[in-house]
Amino acid sequence: MLPRPASGLVLRLRPLGESDLLVDLFSKEVGRLTALAKGGKRSKQRFFGVLLAGHLLQMSLAPSKSGDLWRLETAAVLEPHLGLRQDFRRLLAAGPVLELLLRATAPQDPQPGALELALITLGRMQRAKEAAEMASALVIFLVRLLKLLGYGLNLEACLACGRPAAEIEEPRLSLAGGLACPACPEAQGARPVLPGLIKSLAAALALEPGSLARLRLAPALLPEALAFLAAFWQEITGHDLPSLSLAIKTLS
Ligand SMILES: [Zn+2]
């Protein structure tokens, strides 16, 4: 028997019939789940202003007969992430956070670290004043989520020959999953990057979650970091991630 989730981040809303809504959520207790909000399209009292993408909800859910669908009985907003809606760039920067939780995680597979990471990232984005701050938060989210979901990048040594990172003066990042040296041209989809990028990504992976909000990447590293991480995420998920392309365009 699955635990009953008590709080969750709204990822997506889909209309169902005349008056109902299907709500995709990411909860601490069971990971991604879908809940049916009866009358969610109509009910002004129960769910009005509550069911919006990016809201963190306190909720009561009841299991349904079909097992993988829950029924949303009550919901209240714990954190609206209002700052995201006050700036068009912030909202676009936050899009991939919701889309990746929706598309890259398995249903009902608890990933408490992923929810914590998403909330740290959205919290930082909703206060960000500059595009570089939003882009740093996005890079850190993209690289940390890879690790949490088991696709972690190897940044310590060349994937092909094992030469340590400290000895590689012209590093490249490969879609095979990490660092490649120039002497190993066969590394899949490898692209040259600035040496500082390898160090910054390694720092983003090593920090405690509570310290992540203070890590900033040098602005010169951001375009390379986002381009590589977008290509790698696309490789892993096997499809286009429109929100990620849009965020990168907006932040560049
Ligand atoms: Zn090598």
Q: Is residue 1 part of a domain?
A: no
Residue 92 in any domain: the answer is yes
* pTM of the model as a whole: 0.94
Residues 224 and 189 both lie in one domain: yes
Flag whether 189 is in a domain. Answer: yes
Q: Read out DSSP for 78-137?
A: EE--HHHHT-HHHHHHHHHHHHHHHHHS-BT---HHHHHHHHHHHHHHTT--SHHHHHHH
Q: What separation in Å is there between the alpha carbon of 201 and the centre of ligand 1?
A: 19
Domain boundaries, position 179: 83-251
* Residue 145 and residue 205 in one domain: yes
In angstroms, what is the span from residue 187 Cα to ligand 1's centroid? 8
* Residue ranges with CB less than 5 Å from ion ligand 1: 158, 160-161, 181, 184
Q: Please give the distance, rounded to the nearest whole angstrom, from the Cα atom of residue 198 to the centre of ligand 1.
A: 15
Distance 80 CA to ligand 1 centre (A): 47
CATH code for position 16: 2.40.50.140
Same domain, 116 and 198: yes
Q: Output the CA 158–ligand 1 centroid distance in Å.
A: 5
Residue 26 pairs with which residues in a beta bridge? 9, 32
How many whole angstroms from 159 Cα to the centroid of ligand 1?
A: 7
Looking at 45, 80, 115, which one is the last position of a domain? 80
216 & 100 share domain:
yes
Residue 133 lies in a domain: yes
pLDDT, tens digit, 9 for 90 and up, residues 121-174: 999 999 999 999 999 999 999 999 999 999 989 999 999 999 999 999 999 999
Q: Is the pLDDT of residue 197 over 70?
A: yes
Domain boundary among 61, 80, 99: 80
Please check whether residues 12 and 62 belong to one and the same domain. yes
For residues 243 and 92, give the distance between their C-alpha atoms in angstroms, rounded to a whole number: 7
169 CA to centre of ligand 1 in angstroms? 12
Gap from CA of 172 to ligand 1 centroid (Å) = 10
Flag whether 2 is in a domain.
no
Q: List, for residues 58-101, the tens digit of each pLDDT value.
A: 999 998 887 789 999 999 999 999 999 999 999 999 999 999 99
Out of 28, 46, 80, a domain closes at 80
